[in-house]
A and B are shown apart, each in its own frame.
Chain A
């Protein structure tokens, strides 16, 4: 009678089961959050891809003097792309700004989406703690949920961004887009996008969840949402 035991730690599979159920049950809500991640990543990925392709086309065009490369050069010029060394240098700086901007969009967009989706569940976190959930379990739950959302959102975002960018390059430059295709660079960009997307998503969910889990349950439930 007069004994207190230690609360059992639920197995990881139980957390996965509950997290999976939670995503499925709030499908429309989690799709909305995921679409935010998709948009941000698609933007970042398309900028990186477009930049890589332009760069490689320019290298190809200036490294030989065939009529085809002359045609590509004039095509690039008519599309407003820089051709002289001075212009190229300025363009590089511009691209860097654009990539920075895309990163910022991804950063703010994803963190905001995740913060919102966890904050509106503070009351739920408080309730779960009253029912005997351990802090670690709540963090695990959000870690798994955000991991699922992050992986889906990031992969879809990368695919969307890549295809849109390839499509627009193909429409503008036709076969020239493929002559010196920077496959390696694009794979690296996709990998970088994956890392950025996953990190932001998981960090954006786990940080507020960790905060809420540490709160006294009564305070977590008192937070106005």
Chain B
């Protein structure tokens, strides 16, 4: 059985935010809503200063707290490990945002156009108004994945810091990288068993 997963190479990430933009374009998210974020952190004291980047998205946990705690059944897990959501079921309790340790779930409070002239044709195409008052998150671009393509962020990353593949296949790129580079999961201590691994 396939279990889709991702590796994020922290050494390769240059913080260009290409993945963030690719995600926004692919999913047509309204202003202020990011399914994918790249956190930037500066550590140390001059002259020994270091800037590090940590891209994050939904971790598609094996034991997802959002699926368990959402009272209206918005979130569900596919057989291939991808945690999906159905906006038409969202009641707006926001408990998903409380329980997600990765702050991966966005709540679309109000949808406003990007430009003062009103909604552009692409914004109208995405029908963002229907997302108002509902939770939303990364779905690993499952429509692309099922048609044999990579998620938009993985395809766009110019430094190939992101890899996508089957975690259950020992010959997949992701499995090999996790093994070779000692990949780790974010907040593994919480027992959620994420499908996204970071390569130090």
A and B, one complex? no
Binding site for B on A (CB under 8 A): none
Binding site for A on B (CB under 8 A): none
